[in-house]
Chains A and B, each alone.
Chain A
Amino acid sequence: MAAPATGLNRFYLVLGAVALAGIAALVYQVRKPKGVSIPANVTVLTADTAGFRGYLLGSDSATLEVSEYADYQCPACGAFETLQFPAVRAQLITTGKVRWRYRDFPLDNVHRNTRVAAHAAACAEEQGKYWELHSAIYDRQMDWSESRNAASQFSEIAGSLGLDRKRFDECMSSAKYAGRIQASLEEGTRLGVGSTPTFLIGGRLYLGVLSSDSLRKVIEATLRQPTP
């Protein structure tokens, strides 16, 4: 392998140039603004779901629990959240009839930013503002859906809601809730969820957007059924 001195000197020059180019590329990567990517299909660890069943809203003593499997980037989910959910919340959740359970069901193949959105909401939960950011993300769905840096938009929204942005950004960069999101998707898949939104009410799946009136009727009918 040993080489003549002149050839060796020329080689050192080439090696040095490659080394400099490599170092410059690494420095560029470190210094450029950090985008956020939440990986899909991660292995779900026990710690990812320990003590966590979903994002819950409403009284623990509510007679019925409704699980919603939804995707932040899905327009139908956005329509439900912005048009129907306020009435559902006022008529069914706040009154103590129903406890709401939100589950992420990201449709990665069609929605590039859905997991980033779900992760942003999870990071907001750390600071006690899950439902605030959840609603804001849906409200501004059109703004971030096709964004190349949705995470920075979520960070701005988080800041406007009074969250600690540094802590929020660190949480986003860590992708620490990737497993939780994956677990939620896998749960939905096991139950037979295939599209969003899907509602699990009294052991039955209801597909698509339900109006608050339809939802109330389904819930009342479910509550009338005798419990086994």
Chain B
Amino acid sequence: MGQALLCLAGLFISTYLYLFKIGKIGTLVCGTGGCETVQLSPQSRFLGVEVALIGVLGYAVLLGLALLALQPRFAGPTWPVRALALLSGGAVLFSAYLTALELFVIHAICRYCVASALIILVSFVLALREVRNPPGVAGAA
């Protein structure tokens, strides 16, 4: 359940940043001002795609998997749980790469990006716990 809530929060953060990128939101609510510096930097695109859009799509998929994993028929370490762990693990690596870009290339920190990195990290840890120590297995019957 926690994962679904986290992915929903991540989805909203990414959508907020993407709406800014496409000009639907004038300014980002960001005390440091670093958010706009990061969002307007060349590093805000990855292989020609907006990083915020990658976030929107990624979180949407993770949310779908998290909701699927909640269904009784997917109790235990079934494929949605494994996929959730695998994808959120990849997302952790991608977030680490983006955070490094903020620190060492852009020299500005976007608090929404930090929030997203933390969300995906916690989500990955929860997914890993599900795979290794599934709570539903014992009481699922």
* B28 smallest CB distance to A (angstroms): 8
Is A40 a contact partner of B37 (Cβ separation < 8 A)? yes
CB of A26 within 8 A of CB of B15, answer yes
Is residue A5 within 8 Å, beta carbon to beta carbon, of the partner chain?
yes
Nearest residue in A to B12 (C-beta to C-beta)? A22
Within 8 A of A (CB), among B1-48: 1, 3-5, 8-9, 11-12, 15-16, 19, 23-28, 33, 36-37, 40-42
Collect the chain B residues with CB atoms within 8 Å of residue A5's CB: 72
Contact A1 B135 (CB under 8 A): yes
Asked if A26 contacts B16 (CB within 8 A), the reply is yes
In the bound complex, how far is the Cα of B107 from the Cα of A3, in angstroms?
A: 44
Closest chain B CB from A106 CB (angstroms): 13
The total of chain A residues at the interface (CB under 8 A) is: 31
Rounded to whole angstroms, the CA-CA distance of A1 and B131 in the bound complex is 9
Number of residue pairs across A and B with beta carbons under 8 Å? 90
Q: How close is B69's CB to chain A, nearest CB, in angstroms?
A: 4
Shortest B106–chain A CB gap in Å is: 7
Q: Verify A1–B74 contact, CB threshold 8 A.
A: yes
Nearest to B29 among chain A residues (CB) is A29
Tell me which residues from 43 to 74 in chain A have a Cβ below 8 Å from any Cβ of chain B. Answer: 43, 45
Tell me the nearest residue of chain A to B139, going by C-beta: A4
Cβ-neighbour of A43 out of B1, B41, B72, B130 (below 8 A): B41
Q: Is the CB of A42 within 8 A of B136?
A: no
A1's contact among B5, B19, B26, B130, by CB below 8 Å, is which? B130
Residue from A3, A34, A37, A43 in contact with B36 in the complex, judged by beta carbons closer than 8 Å = A37
Q: Give the residues in chain B near A83, CB-CB below 8 Å.
A: none
Interface contacts beyond A14-B5, A18-B5, A34-B25: sample of 14 additional A-B pairs, CB < 8 Å, sorted by A: A1-B66, A2-B72, A2-B74, A2-B76, A11-B1, A15-B4, A22-B11, A22-B12, A37-B27, A37-B28, A40-B33, A41-B37, A42-B37, A45-B42
